[in-house]
Amino acid sequence: MNKNRTIVPFDVTLAERGLAIDRMPIDVLQINVGKVCNQACHHCHVDAGPKRTEVMAAATIERLINLLEHTPGVTTVDITGGAPELNPNFRMLVRGARALGKRVIDRCNLTVLLQSGQEGTAEFLAEQGVAIVASLPCYSKGNVDSQRGRGVFDESIVALKKLNALGYGSPEGELELDLVYNPVGPSLPPPQLTLQADYKRELDEHFGVRFNRLLAITNMPISRFLHDLQRQGQYEQYMTTLLNAFNPTAARGVMCRTMLSVSWDGLLFDCDFNQMLDIPVGGHRRSIWDISRLDDLEHMPLAFGDHCYGCTAGAGSSCGGSLTR
Ligand code: SF4
Ligand code: SF4
């Protein structure tokens, strides 16, 4: 990301607060299976879209399943993209990870479930017991369509109803359906639980849609969102907002402490954001063919940058939502 001299570097802030944030045992393997997506959202930190061509190959997925087999400490496989379901090897990855007893998360944009060629994907996810984390940045049509494209809200509701009919999102059931909120503009998310109550009420009342949890995620100042900020002259103001809201408790809970992230071509990173910024684990490019277990790099220091203020502002932010209450 662009450096701005008025922003105190993230590592300086950590040092000033006496915070030494080290890696802990890796629990989550996050796999970015490619940048192809049926949408092209304004805030997308992956710059994903229909014209992208990067797709994780079958051989890479086979290698990851082999590494998962040799790393029992990793309990969760978190599949992201792009739209992960558009990778032709998506089902192979899901089946392989589930056969090893791993919890599998599909980061789903919802509309992909209605695309031609995706018939049966929702049913497949339910059969495999895959947890779904679905983007829905608002319960109002106008806000969703302005961020994610015209018609996305209506299609998202159709997809949510389909998932509900399969048993997703029921408080009594085992098929988890979480929704993801992120602010439309350059502000911090409101408190997660308050917003969750609003989402539950509005989606139930107007559409009869159920879900389990709402995850409130801060927009990271990278990729498409960064370019938007710069175009509108809001970059410095947004970074100042994040810096002023620095929360040491959130900093102690950042997700990279227990996560390893793999790119579509098998390279290793601390998180999906570092992946997009091409900041490799430990400062050196390594791939899944350079390690024999996923926890081989646990001794490496984390690679922080100023974008990390996005994870530590306010209640904190991660792929699992807020880091504090
Ligand atoms: S649906 Fe997700 S991956 Fe696709 S463009 Fe939107 S934010 Fe990016
Ligand atoms: S952006 Fe920084 S703080 Fe957040 S998960 Fe990645 S490395 Fe950790």
pLDDT at 155: 95
- In this structure, the residue with its CA closest to atom 2 of ligand 2 is 308
- Classify residue 30: in a domain, yes or no: yes
pTM: 0.95
Tokens for 301, please give them: 């220091």
Say how many Å lie between the CA of residue 109 and the centre of ligand 1: 7
Q: In what order do the strands lie in the sheet with 214-216?
A: 214-216, 177-181, 131-135, 103-108, 76-80, 28-32, 259-262, 268-269
- Classify residue 317: in a domain, yes or no: no
Q: For the chain, what's the residue count?
A: 325
- Classify residue 208: in a domain, yes or no: yes
pLDDT tens over the chain, length 325 residues: 444 457 899 999 999 999 999 999 999 999 999 999 999 987 788 889 999 999 999 999 999 999 999 999 999 999 999 999 999 999 999 999 999 999 999 999 999 999 999 999 999 999 999 999 999 988 888 888 888 888 999 999 999 999 999 999 999 999 999 999 998 889 999 999 999 999 999 999 999 999 999 999 999 999 888 999 999 999 999 999 999 999 999 999 999 999 999 999 999 999 999 999 999 998 899 999 999 999 999 999 999 999 999 999 999 999 999 999 7
The structural domain count of the chain equals 1
Question: Which atom of ligand 2 lies closest to the CA of 255?
Answer: 5
- Classify residue 247: in a domain, yes or no: no
- Classify residue 312: in a domain, yes or no: no
Give the number of the ligand closest to the Cα of residue 79.
1
Cα–Cα distances in angstroms (integers) from residue 193 to residues 116, 190, 268, 324, in the given order:
36, 9, 33, 11
- Are the C-beta atoms of 37 and 109 separated by less than 8 Å? yes
DSSP per-residue letters across 74-93 = --EEEEESS-GGGSTTHHHH
Say how many Å lie between the CA of residue 165 and the centre of ligand 1: 24
Give the number of the ligand closest to the Cα of residue 222.
2
Does 229 contact ligand 1 (Cβ within 6 A)?
Answer: no
- Classify residue 48: in a domain, yes or no: yes
CATH number at residue 135: 3.20.20.70
Does 89 contact ligand 1 (Cβ within 6 A)?
Answer: no
Say how many Å lie between the CA of residue 243 and the centre of ligand 1: 26
* Domain enclosing residue 157, as ranges: 24-226+253-303
Does 80 contact ligand 1 (Cβ within 6 A)?
Answer: no
Does 132 contact ligand 1 (Cβ within 6 A)?
Answer: no
- Classify residue 99: in a domain, yes or no: yes
- Classify residue 182: in a domain, yes or no: yes
Cα–Cα distances in angstroms (integers) from residue 210 to residues 3, 126, 152, 155, 199, in the given order:
43, 16, 18, 16, 10
Using only C-alpha atoms, the chain has a radius of gyration, in whole angstroms, of 19
- In this structure, the residue with its CA closest to atom 6 of ligand 2 is 271
Does 156 contact ligand 1 (Cβ within 6 A)?
Answer: no
The set of protein residues with a Cβ atom below 6 angstroms from ligand 2 is 254-256, 270-271, 273-274, 302, 304, 307-308, 311
